[in-house]
Structure 1
Amino acid sequence: MKRSSNFIPHLFASISVIVWGVTFVSTKVLIGQGLTPLQIFVYRFALAYVCMLPLMRRLWANSLKDEICLALGGLSGGSLYFLTENTALGITFASNVSLLICTAPIFTIILDRIIWKTPLRKSLLVGSLIALVGVAVVIINGNLEFKISPLGDFLTIVAAILWAIYSIIVRKLSRTYDTFFISRKVFFYGVVSVLPLFIASTSPAELSLLGRSAVWSNIMFLGIMASMLCYMMWNVSVKALGADKASNYIYVNPLVTIIASAIFLGEPLTVFTFIGAAAIIGGVFIAERCG
C-alpha cells in the first residue's frame, strides 16, 4: 500500500525533472532571441502567478516566520536560482548546465543532515564521491574541449545549492500549507525581489520582443508548464517523499537535456560528456538506492 500511495509523488517528480530538462533548451532559445536571464525569469514566474490568482484562497501565511520562509523560498527556488542558472546558460552549453545541476541532490542530502540530523549512509558517501568525480570531468571537458570560462560552471553549482535550500524550505512549509499556496507565494516573492531591477533595465524595445512567436511560445511553456504545473507537482513530491529522495530525481535532467540540446541546438556530444553524465547519474542513483 505504501508503494502504491507513493506512485503519484514519484510520477510527479519524474514529470517535473523531464520537463525541466527541456527548459534548458527553451531558455537558451530565448537568450538567443535577445532576452536577458532576468527578463526570462520575470516573464515565466509572473505568468505562473497570474494563472494561479483565480484559484487563490488565502493571502498570507499563519505567522511572520512562515512568511519569511516563503520569501526565502522565492529567492532560493526563484529569483536567485534562475538568475544564476540562466546566466550560466548564456556562458556555457545547455548540456553542461543540466549535468552540473545534478549536484543538487548531494547538497540537499548534506543540508538535510545538518538541519534535520538525518543519518549519513555509506552508500551516500560513495555515491557523492562518484557524482563529484563526474562534475569534475564535465568541468575539465568544458575548459579543454570548448574553451569556455569556468564562470558558467561555477554559477550552475551555486544554482544547485540554492535549489537544495529551496527543497529543504518546502519540506518544512509543506507540513502546514498546501502545495498550491506554497508555489504561488514562491512565484510572488520571486518576482517581487527582482521587479525594481527588471523595470530599470528593460526598455520598450525589449518588451516588443514578446511579439515574436519564438519568444511568447517558449515563455508560455516556461510559465505554465515548467513553472506553475511542475512546481506544484514537485512540491507534492517533496512533501510525500522528503527533500532528499525527491531531489534525487534530478538525475533524469541530463538525459533529457543532452538529447534535446543535440536535436534543437546542434550542440556537440563528446565522450567526456557521457563519462561525466554516467558518473553523476550513477553516483546519485547509488546514494539513493543502496544501503
Structure 2
Amino acid sequence: MSKNISFAGLFFASISIFLWGITFVSTKYLLRSFSPYEILLIRFFMAYLALWGSKPKKLRLSERKHEIYFMLAGLSGVTAYQFMENMAISYTSASNVSVIVSICPMFTAISLQLFLKEKHLTPFFNIGFLLAIVGVALVSFNGVVNFHLNPKGDFLALLAAVSWGFYSLCIVKINALGFETVVVTRRIFFWAVVFMLPIGIFSLLTQGPSLPSEMGNISVILDPAFNLSRIKNPLNWLNMGFLGLGASAFCFAAWSIACKKLGTVRATVGIYLIPVVTIIFAFFALGEKISLMGAIGAVLTIAGLFVSEIRKS
C-alpha cells in the first residue's frame, strides 16, 4: 500500500514540476502583451472558476481559526510568490528566475524545522542541495556568454522562494485538517484573488489605466485598441489557458496530493528539476541552445535529488 501511495505522490509531483517548468516560457511570452499583475489576476481567477465548475461544493470549516491557514496560503503561495516571480521575469531572464526559485526546498525545510520541529536538514539533504543548486546554476547559465545578474529581478526571485517556504508550511497545516484537495485549492485561490484586487485598485487610483507603452508591473491596461489586439491573438489565449487551467487549477491541486503522499519536504525537493524543464522548452519555443554545460547541470541536478533523499537507517 505504501508503495502505491509513493507512486501516486511521485506521479502528481512529476506532472506539477513538468508543467511548472513550462510556465516560465509561457509567462515570458505573455509579458509582451500583459503586465505581471494582469497575468496573475486573469490566471488565478480563471483557475478559481475552473475549480468551482469541477466541484461546486462548499468547504465547511469546523473552527473559524482554520481560515487563517487558507488566507496565509493564498497570500504567500499565490499572491506573493506568483506576483514576485512574474515581476522577476520582467526584470531578468527566465533562466535566472528558474534557478533562484529552485532553492524553495531549503526554505521549506527550514520553515518546517523552525515552526513544526520537523528535522529535515540532514547531512545528506545539505549535500544533495549543494549538488542540485550547482546543477541548476549550470543549467541556467547554459553557456550563454552574455549572462548577467540583475539585482532587482534576482532579489524578487529570492523573495518568491522564501514565500514558497511559508506556503509549504501552510499546506502542512491544511492537509492535517483532512479536507478534499479540490475544495482546499479553490479556497486558497479565493483568498489569493482577494489579496490581488487591492493591487489593481491601487494601480488605478495612483496611476490610472496604463497605456501599452507605459505598462509596468502593476499596470491595468484599458486601451480599447490594444485590448482588442491582444484578445484576438490565439497564442495569448493558449498561454493564459495553460497557466490558469493547467499550471494553476490542476497543478496546485496535484501538488497538495503529492505533499500528502510524499511529505512536503520530499515533494518540494523535486522543484530542483523545474529549471531543467524550462531550459528544454526554451530550446524548442524560443530557440535557445542547450550547451554541454546545460547537460552537465541536468545530471548534477538529478544526482542531487537522489543524494538529498538518502536517509540513515
- TM-score, normalized by length of structure 1? 0.89
Q: Deviations over 1:182-214 (max 9, x none)?
A: 210111111111113225241322644333212
| Structure 1 unpaired stretches of 5+ | none
The alpha-carbon deviation at position 143 of structure 1 amounts to 11
Residues 75-154 of structure 1 aligned to structure 2 (within 5 Å): 75-119=75-119, 120-133=121-134, 145-154=146-155
Does 2:36 align with 1:37? yes
> 1:11: which partner in 2?
11
The 8 Å contact of residues 170 and 235 in structure 1, kept in 2 or not, is answered as: yes
CA change 1:282–1:99 in 2 (3 A) is farther
What is the rounded CA distance, in whole Å, between the counterparts of 1:87 and 1:268 in structure 2? 25
Aligned with 1:202 (options 220, 228, 237): 220
Partner amino acid for 2:192? G
| Aligned partners of 2:43 and 2:244 also within 8 Å | yes
SS at match of 1:57: coil
Instruction: Report the 3-state secondary structure (helix = DSSP H, G, I; strand = E; otherwise coil) of the residue aligned with 2:102.
Output: helix
1:73 aligned residue: 73
User: Does structure 2 retain, via aligned residues, the 8 Å contact 1:49–1:187?
Assistant: yes
Which secondary structure state, in structure 2, belongs to the residue aligned with residue 3 of structure 1?
A: helix
Secondary structure (helix, strand or coil) at the match of 1:204 reads: coil
Larger CA deviation: 255-264 vs 107-116: 107-116
Tell me the distance in 2 between the aligned counterparts of 1:271 and 1:88: 27
- Residue range with higher mean Cα deviation, 23-32 or 54-63: 54-63
Amino acid at match of 1:204: L
Q: What residue in structure 1 maps to residue 181 of structure 2?
A: 179
| Contact in 1 for aligned 2:48/2:186 (Cα 8 Å) | yes
8 A Cα contact 2:125 2:310, kept in partner: no
When the two structures are aligned, how many residues end up with a matched partner? 290
Contact 1:143 1:150 in 2 (8 A): no
Greater shift in the superposed pair: 5-14 or 87-96: 87-96
C-alpha displacement at 1:158, in angstroms? 1.6
How far off is 1:150 after superposition? 2.6
Gaps of 5+ in 2: 205-218
CA distance in 2, matches of 1:136, 1:257: 13
* Residues 28 and 90 in structure 1, CA contact (< 8 A), matched pair in contact too: yes
Residue 260 of structure 1, aligned match among 254, 257, 281 = 281
2:233 is matched with 212
Relative to structure 1, is the Cα distance of residues 207 and 193 closer, same or farther in structure 2, using a 3 angstrom cutoff?
farther
Given that 1:179 and 1:236 are in contact with CA atoms closer than 8 Å, whether structure 2 keeps it comes out as yes
Report the structure number with the largest CA radius of gyration: 2
Kindly provide the CA deviation profile for residues 249-275 of structure 1, in whole angstroms up to 9, marking residues without a partner as x: 212212211011121112354555555
**Superposition deviation, residue 144 in structure 1:** 7.2
Alignment of 1:204-283 (within 5 A): 204-205=222-223, 207-208=227-228, 209-269=230-290, 273=294, 278-283=299-304
Give the AA of the match of 2:266.
K
Identify, as 1 or 2, the structure richer in helix. Answer: 1
Q: Which amino acid aligns with 1:9?
A: G
Deviation at 1:154, TM superposition (A): 2.0
